[in-house]
Amino acid sequence: MDIQSIKNRFGIIGNSPALNHALNTAIQVANTDLSVLIVGESGVGKEVFSGIIHALSPRKHNPFIAVNCGAIPEGTIDSELFGHEKGSFTGAVDSRKGYFETVNGGTIFLDEIGEMPLGTQARLLRVLETGEFIRVGSSKVQKTDVRVIAATNRDLHDYTQQKKFREDLYYRLSTVPIRVPSLRDRREDIPLLFRKFASDFSERYKTLSVQLDAAAQQLLVNYPWQGNVRELKNIAEQVSVLSTDKSITADVLQRFLPAKDTSRSLALLPASGMPSTTSDYNTTNTERDILYKLFFDLKKDMNDLKHMVLEMAHQQNFTPSGAAENLLPVYKNNPEPGLITPSYNASAPIMIHANEPHQEVEESLMLADREKEFITKALKKHKSRRRDAANELGISERTLYRKIKEYDINE
């Protein structure tokens, strides 16, 4: 099958040499059972390549499943992949088959393989080398015949040096590496992709398709596209839906592009404390303004809270009882006259002077609250799509999942 028919079949747009080379490699390796490692930035379409390899392989009539290793909690990933026996852990009320058992004879695509825990990596290596696996909580060795295609947006070789990824697994997976080019490496394809997306959205929303003038096309080509094809598609949809004039100039298009196209989204602040330097924030002037506003809002909220607590404490005569215990912490008298200190945090107290109820006191910035706020806003913006929210926040889906549970965020 020639490369153009493959592009038509799978909806791949573009003619750049780097893209064609990746497709040719996928076509050549499809008819074998070799393990494949697909490497590329987030949003370049790595899963499409896994689908091409499976569809052109002798396994095409057998099951194919895509598993995002970064989205499965570390405590359950072994069970998801290899299955478990009844009673093997809390909540295991029945025996369950894992993906390697249910996809026997087919292909399994392990996306974000760099997020896989080291223990699970050892189990995967055994499957690749011998075709054997053991369910969680069992001692019975089972056989499976599954082709593994893995993908990552990380530098796995660097991960092996940092002991975050097994070196033997890395070389076993990368028998045939396929590097999917970023959109920045195939700029000649950007106008074609935008026209295709714009045409699709005009058909979906029953509107006229937007058209870019020469200056707008040049602006589109020069944009760095940190989010690659996924980001380009999102911009095309915004322009198609929100622009009243279907003839798009560079000035109009600029309004849909982020103001600082070379910067990443605000990174999550570490919960352990403040970064040591301003550069650790990786912020532009605009982003610093946003941070300052957030911090000033926090200060105002803290002062309002102090005033409310002081008033309630006065009403309770500093000795809460009954229903009031649900509202106030237990207070104790401080050796300094007129000073009230919450007993649950004696090492870093919030000090409130009873005779100066309106005094505003500088408080340490509660970074965990800011982190929770960033996560909540990102999830709301992307309608609870964790992968998109994680990409914007600059973290993995596994980390996002852990933070959602840690802060008990309601999606």
114 and 398 in contact (C-beta within 8 Å)? no
**Whether residue 146 is found in the same domain as residue 228:** no
CATH number, domain at 241?
1.10.8.60
Task: Let me know whether 82 and 36 are in one domain.
Answer: yes
The Cα–Cα gap between 224 and 261 comes to: 7
pLDDT at 110: 97
Is the torsion defined by CA of 96, 99, 100, 105 positive or negative?
positive
> 386-393 and 367-381 are packed helices; what angle lies between their axes, rounded to 10 degrees?
130
* 10-residue stretch averages of pLDDT, the chain, 411 residues long: 89 94 96 95 94 96 95 92 90 91 96 95 96 94 96 94 95 94 95 95 92 95 94 94 91 85 39 38 44 56 65 57 40 40 40 42 55 84 83 81 82 71
pLDDT, residue 200, reads 94
* Same-domain status, 96 and 197: no
Same domain, 157 and 107: yes
Q: Say if 273 falls within a structural domain.
A: no
The token duo for 175 is 């028998």
- CATH number of the domain where residue 153 is located: 3.40.50.300
Question: Do the strands 339-342 and 331-333 form a parallel or antiparallel pair, or are they unpaired?
Answer: antiparallel
Structural element, H or E, at residue 151: strand 147-152
Per-residue model confidence (pLDDT) at position 329: 41
Residue after which a domain boundary falls, among 301, 334, 353:
353
- Domain membership flag for residue 233: yes
- pLDDT of 305 reads 67
Looking at the fold, whether 29 and 155 belong to one and the same domain comes out as yes
> Is 249 a member of any domain?
yes
The reply to whether 157 and 199 lie within a common domain is no
Q: Are residues 196 and 167 in the same domain?
A: no
Please give the residue range of the domain that contains residue 166.
Answer: 3-181
Backbone angles phi, psi at 308, to 5 degrees: -65, -45
Euclidean distance between CA atoms 208 and 201, whole angstroms:
9
Q: Where is the domain boundary, 134, 153, 181?
A: 181
Specify the pLDDT at position 280: 39
- Residue-level length of the chain: 411
Residues 130 and 123: their CA atoms lie apart, in Å, by 11
| Shared domain check, 11 and 137 | yes
Are 34 and 175 in the same domain? yes
Asked if 216 and 315 sit in the same domain, the reply is no
State which of 308, 330, 353 marks the end of a domain. 353
Do 169 and 208 fall into the same domain?
A: no
- 89 plus 176 within the same structural domain: yes
**Residue 299's pLDDT is what?**
58
How far is residue 409's CA from residue 411's CA, in Å, rounded to a whole number? Answer: 6
Domain count, the chain: 3
Burial label for 113, CB within 10 Å (0-12, 13-18, 19+), is buried
